[in-house]
């Protein structure tokens, strides 16, 4: 059997990526364009972040992209990490967080430029595509 | 259908580095349980091996463990729900017996976390959640529980010192447990002084003193049908209720960050099945991988209202002489947390209490005991109710 | 207690490299099964995820798969017995339903063997047995089955050409299976000519043509109580018998090298529970990871006397029109063998046959079907009997 | 807690060892002395090969060593491997085998010096300690 080309775009996600192949690999192209996209089921209208290729509700696989970067959310919780897993040493310390955008939530990191004192549960945030030193991409929360 | 009960419990000492192989480690908990049950291993007609595979070099540990324990040709299989693997094993053993397929099942929990190097271990910890969407941000288990601690503090005014009170209790009882890895008694100053190593930050707001340690260890629980118990002339501790639930791995799927709905749902099921309420529980073992986890357990199990956990520990109500003794064997914080073996160790403590064989930590005449065992940060919730 | 049955079966195409993630792959078999059952996933009150963890980067796949399939907050857990994981999952689903704990359980089998590099895969294959005593000699699965082939040939006069007849049958039917990874029809010359790539030695006496291929794939089986089936107005295929046994991992613990006692013991249990004998079986799926494995299955299941397997295949008795059709969906040899998904795929084939929905390969009016699913080289033996 | 010295003698076993620590690590010292040892339960008298630290029959852990190199066994089955796992490339091809010694069996490799034609099920064999090119040890079957 001829070896097929594997789509490994997802290797570009995060400081260390553990996934290469996903049916939502287009997420990475959007991220390159500054968009942080989720998917919306065209049948149920449910919003999914992180994006899914399949709707668990209707079992359909007809989903459309939407850009979360346009929305404003509220910080739900956060933690500043003093230790990290292998491969994240150069990032330390960093703050992970969850933000609520109403129809969906996003898990990510706080923008490094935000002072610790400025980070509070309940603060308004926007999610923003972010380039990493190793050439990869992720997304961070900035004060809205 | 008859009842299902437990006639034997055992565990190895929990240690930093076990000086033997995985199967030899498993043998230690098994031997204690079989001898406790007063049976030979020939009576056992199926085994369940509970563990988390990423710490093993050995593939398919069920086979290798069953062979070493002399449990061929009986069926065996491997089950995993992270840190609650052996509670899941107990539920499956219950169903295998209740359904009539088997009448004596050994639930073997084992973890040799020292099998891999600490670099390998760190790497695996980095893959502890959805590897596509969360791990690439650099997450670790303490930081996940820290997110919940942060939200709990914000919502209910819980203080770092409230969490330290939980560790204080743990160390008070851990000192008495010969099988615990951490046996030093701590005082409040060590847990709160800025100069103490135990207040060094790990992931805000959690500090070193809020976290349990890795360990190597094994446990074993022997589950039988009522009929089998009779034929062996044993008086079991009965399994009155088993509850289990799940939640999304991705935190984006969670509605609540100040508690674990999978634990609350598992408790609801277990109480309903046992026909009891939280008030009927005389003694409990809860999953205190971090201090905040025990605090949330108080609330998810109904020992306190949401947000009321701090008053429970402030009033020492979860001490041996309190209204609801919790983790008076030292808990995971003192015993150490050998993932696959942890649930079995919790069950052992409750079984010994219900039999009146808990020695220094025996509470007076308990009739109903509870085990709360969590996988991930509330990804898998398990609650088991045991009774005399 | 009421009966337990199957109302839905599904599988993905089995492919060399699935172009998506583990959870997305699991969705494919699940979707087919849920639609086949004519239910929504809200009806499912527990899930079992069956796999072999060493091929995953994702830790604790049960949680991530349950989340993706929309199966929170229902309990879920992970079960593994190597290549028979989903048959073990089926037995556990049976017991969870029979015991009254659940009434609708999804058994999800999934394996993305391409998730890791082929060097990583080779390394893991080297740890497929007791890592202390056998792996250091450089063992691999084909060599283990080869040891049994050697002993079988020596004892019974079985020839390499007898084994090739099994692959010939597999390819004859594999060509019809749209979900199979290998769909070429082979002729005896390709399987026996010294010039053919398929006669290149792998581990004597097994050759390339005797071995199945790795694959990515998923499967799903929906198990329900009799009552639940009634409330859904579905007519299930019933689970009449489940048998399981183990044998020592180390070959030093084996008495027999020309058959797999764990398979024979599992068959004995399953026949007894179903109240039938081998003669009552109308159609079977057996674990043909290697040609010799199917040959031994004939004998361990009682379709032939020990040593009589070669006459069965020589007489084409296991073809569609023979006395006992076996693996007429192409078997593992043609479908490919995505470890955790394989058992569910076998069950799907039998369920479709018993319903009369097997299309081109439908045998006439089968009433009793059998699934034989092995982990390791007879380490875990599983036999399931299904009936209308 | 002070870091204890770990006994990793078992790393010396086989072309590639996957185990470092076992309660029967003394096996390696015996192998160094040319002995291929099993254990015998002092209570039940059961012979175990490979050696065990614990008896599954009586659950006792009082076992004695015995030397299998003195015994003669019979070849039960064998297979010549054309492919091997990672790390065994330089050994290929090699023949694995099982021999029956009556009270116990041994799994191992056939001596490289034996011609393929000389290897037959039923042949009498002895087990023998064997040094490997990488400095490790294993054991092989020789014609008795
Ligand atoms: Zn939808
Ligand atoms: Zn003994």
Taking contacts as CB-CB distances below 8 angstroms, the residues of chain D near C121 are none
Nearest ligand to residue D40 Cα: 2
Answer whether the bond into residue B205 is a cis peptide, omega within 30°: yes
Answer whether the bond into residue C70 is a cis peptide, omega within 30°: no
Q: Is the pLDDT of residue A2 over 70?
A: no
Q: Is the pLDDT of residue C171 over 70?
A: yes
Q: Using 50, 70 and 90 to split pLDDT, how confident is the model at C56? A: confident
D136 with D75, same domain? yes
Phi-psi region at C330: left, alpha or beta (left = phi > 0; alpha = psi -120 to 50): left
* Interchain pair D19, B68: CB under 8 A: no
pLDDT attached to residue C117: 81
Residue C21 contacts A, CB cutoff 8 Å: yes
Nearest ligand to residue D44 Cα: 2
A75 with A136, same domain? yes
- CA of B201 from ligand 1 middle (Å) equals 43
Give me the domains of chain C, ranges plus CATH numbers.
4-117+214-232 (3.40.47.10)
A100 with A130, same domain? yes
Taking contacts as CB-CB distances below 8 angstroms, the residues of chain C near B1 are 1, 99-100
Task: Count up the domains in chain D and report the number.
Answer: 2
Q: Using 50, 70 and 90 to split pLDDT, how confident is the model at A23? A: very high
D105 with D75, same domain? yes
D62 with D92, same domain? no
Q: B337 to each of B218, B231, B263, C49, D4, how far by Cα in Å?
A: 10, 36, 19, 25, 19
Residues with CB under 5 A from ligand 1 (ion): A 41, 43-44, 55, 57-58, 60
Asked whether residue D1 is domain-assigned, the answer is no
| pLDDT tens digits, A72-118 | 999 999 999 999 999 999 999 999 999 999 999 999 999 999 999 99
Asked whether residue A89 is domain-assigned, the answer is yes
| pLDDT tens digits, D93-134 | 999 999 999 999 999 999 999 999 999 999 999 999 999 999
D60 with D13, same domain? yes
pLDDT attached to residue B115: 83
- CA of A47 from ligand 1 middle (Å) equals 9
Task: Find all residues with CB under 8 Å of D58, minimum gap 6, and list them.
Answer: D41, D43, D44
Q: Which chains touch A (3 or more CB pairs under 8 A)?
A: B, C
D63 with D80, same domain? no
Of the three residues D19, D40, D68, the one that is the final residue of a domain is D68
Q: Is the ipTM of this complex over 0.95?
A: yes
Asked whether residue A2 is domain-assigned, the answer is no
Answer whether the bond into residue D50 is a cis peptide, omega within 30°: yes
Burial class of A69 by CB neighbour count within 10 A (0 to 12, 13 to 18, 19+):
middle
Q: Among B32, B241, B5, which Cα is nearest to B105's?
A: B5
- CA of D54 from ligand 2 middle (Å) equals 8
| pLDDT tens digits, D5-48 | 788 899 999 999 998 899 999 999 999 999 999 999 999 999 99
Picking from D4, D21, D59, the nearest residue to B31 by CB comes out as D59
Picking from B72, B78, B81, the nearest residue to C80 by CB comes out as B78
A48 with A101, same domain? no
D89 with D38, same domain? no
D139 with D75, same domain? yes
Average pLDDT over residues B156-164: 98
Q: Is the pLDDT of residue C127 over 70?
A: yes
Average pLDDT over residues C101-113: 97
pLDDT attached to residue C125: 82
Asked whether residue A52 is domain-assigned, the answer is yes
* Interchain pair B380, C63: CB under 8 A: yes
Residue B139 contacts A, CB cutoff 8 Å: yes
| pLDDT tens digits, B323-353 | 999 999 999 999 999 999 999 999 999 999 9
pLDDT attached to residue C368: 98
| pLDDT tens digits, C239-250 | 999 999 999 999
Picking from D78, D83, D109, the nearest residue to C137 by CB comes out as D109
Question: Which residues of C are part of the catalytic machinery?
Answer: 83, 337
pLDDT attached to residue D2: 41
pLDDT attached to residue D1: 37
Complete DSSP assignment for A73-119: EEEEEEEEES---TT-GGG-SEEEEEEE-SS-EEEEEE-TTS-GGG-
Q: Using 50, 70 and 90 to split pLDDT, how confident is the model at A6? A: confident
Residue B83 among the catalytic residues: yes
pLDDT attached to residue A16: 95
A45 with A82, same domain? no
pLDDT attached to residue A128: 98
Nearest-CA distance C254 → chain D (Å): 9
Tell me, letter by letter, the H, E, C secondary structure of chain D. Answer: CCCCCCCCHHHHECCCCCCCCCCCCHHHHHHHCCCCEEEEECCCCCEECCCCCCCCCCCCCCEEEEEHHHCCEEEEEEEEECCCCCCCHHHCCEEEEEEECCCCEEEEEECCCCCHHHCCCCCEEEEEEEECCCCCEEEEEEEC
Of the three residues A47, A68, A89, the one that is the final residue of a domain is A68
Residue B102 among the catalytic residues: no
Nearest-CA distance D4 → chain C (Å): 22
Q: Using 50, 70 and 90 to split pLDDT, how confident is the model at C121? A: confident
Residue of A nearest to B150 (CA): A77
Q: Among C66, C110, C65, C107, which Cα is nearest to C90's?
A: C107
Domain containing residue A15: 9-68
Asked whether residue A4 is domain-assigned, the answer is no
Asked whether residue D75 is domain-assigned, the answer is yes
D130 with D77, same domain? yes
Q: What are phi and psi of C309, to 5 degrees?
A: -60, -35
Task: Find all residues with CB under 8 Å of B39, minimum gap 6, and list them.
Answer: B7, B8, B104, B222, B232
């Amino acid at each position: 059997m001829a070896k097929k080309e594997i789509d490994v775009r997802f290797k570009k996600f995060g400081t260390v990526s553990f996934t290469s192949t996903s049916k939502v690999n287009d997420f990475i192209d959007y991220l390159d364009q500054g968009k942080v996209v989720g998917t919306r089921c065209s049948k149920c209208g449910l919003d999914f972040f992180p994006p899914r290729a399949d709707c668990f509700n209707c079992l359909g696989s007809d989903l459309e992209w939407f850009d979360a970067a346009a929305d404003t959310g509220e910080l739900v919780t956060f933690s500043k990490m003093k230790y990290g897993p292998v491969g994240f040493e150069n990032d330390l310390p960093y703050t992970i967080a969850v933000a609520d955008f109403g129809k969906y939530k996003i898990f990510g990191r706080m923008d490094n430029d935000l002072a610790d004192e400025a980070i509070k549960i309940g603060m308004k945030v926007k999610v923003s595509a972010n380039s990493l030193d190793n050439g990869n991409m992720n997304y961070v929360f900035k004060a809205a | 259908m008859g009842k299902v009960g437990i006639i034997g419990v055992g565990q190895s000492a929990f240690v930093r580095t076990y000086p033997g192989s995985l199967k030899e480690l498993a043998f230690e908990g098994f031997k204690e349980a079989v001898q406790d049950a007063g049976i030979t291993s020939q009576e056992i007609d199926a085994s369940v091996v509970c563990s988390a595979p990423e710490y093993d070099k050995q593939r398919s540990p069920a086979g290798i463990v069953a062979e070493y324990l002399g449990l061929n040709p009986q069926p065996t299989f491997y089950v995993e729900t992270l840190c609650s693997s052996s509670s899941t094993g107990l539920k499956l053993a219950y169903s295998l017996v209740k359904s009539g397929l088997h009448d004596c099942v050994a639930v073997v929990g084992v973890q040799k976390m020292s099998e891999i190097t600490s670099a390998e271990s760190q790497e695996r910890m980095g893959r502890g959640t959805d590897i596509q969407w969360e791990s690439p941000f650099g997450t670790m288990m303490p930081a996940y529980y820290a997110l919940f601690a942060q939200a709990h503090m914000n919502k209910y005014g819980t203080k770092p010192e409230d969490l330290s009170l939980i560790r204080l209790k743990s160390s008070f009882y851990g000192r008495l447990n010969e099988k615990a890895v951490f046996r030093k008694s701590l005082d409040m100053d060590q847990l709160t002084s800025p100069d103490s190593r135990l207040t060094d930050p790990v992931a805000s707001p959690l500090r070193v003193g809020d976290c349990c340690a890795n360990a190597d260890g094994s446990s074993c629980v022997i589950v039988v049908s009522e009929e089998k118990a009779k034929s062996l002339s044993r008086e079991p501790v009965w399994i009155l209720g088993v509850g289990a639930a799940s939640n999304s791995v991705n935190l984006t799927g969670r509605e609540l960050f100040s508690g674990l709905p999978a634990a609350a749902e598992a408790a609801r099921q277990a109480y309903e099945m046992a026909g009891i309420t939280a008030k009927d529980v005389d003694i409990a073992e809860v999953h205190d991988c971090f201090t905040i986890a025990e605090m949330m357990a108080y609330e998810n199990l109904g020992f306190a209202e949401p947000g009321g956990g701090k008053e429970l520990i402030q009033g020492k109500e979860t001490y041996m002489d309190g209204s609801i003794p919790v983790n008076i064997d030292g808990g995971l914080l003192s015993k150490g947390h050998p993932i696959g073996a942890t649930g079995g160790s919790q069950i052992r403590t409750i079984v010994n209490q219900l039999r009146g064989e808990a020695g220094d930590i025996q509470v007076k005449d308990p009739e109903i005991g509870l085990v709360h065992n969590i996988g991930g940060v509330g990804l898998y919730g398990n609650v088991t109710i045991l009774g005399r």
